[in-house]
Amino acid sequence: MLEQNISTVNNDVKTLVKDAQALFTAATALTGEKAEELRGRGMRALDTALAKAHEAQVSAVAATKEAAKQADEYVKENPWRSIAVAAGVGLLIGVIIGRK
């Protein structure tokens, strides 16, 4: 779910930045009121992209903190199981590295 939301926001931000770039490119060829209008639209598009990127960052940080909290609670509730899992993973990595 989180990965899908981040992917969607990432695509939205890329689209907004491309649109803003196109508006700025068009604005360089124009002068006067029309150019100012295009520059304003471009700046609004960039502001929207930055806001979406910030929202995605805040969401990702919150999800990461929640996952870390749950992992911490699990380890505190099941210390021996956590030690066994860590030892198993370490053994598996050791075997994989030892083969090479």
Convert the pLDDT of each residue in 53-80 to its tens digit: 788 888 888 888 999 999 999 889 999 9
The percent of residues above 70 in pLDDT, for the chain, comes to: 89
CA distance 55 to 58: 5
pTM here? Answer: 0.53
Q: For the chain, how many helices (H) and strands (E)?
A: 3, 0
Residue 93, pLDDT above cutoff 70: yes
CA distance 79 to 87: 12
Q: Averaged over 77-85, what is the pLDDT?
A: 91
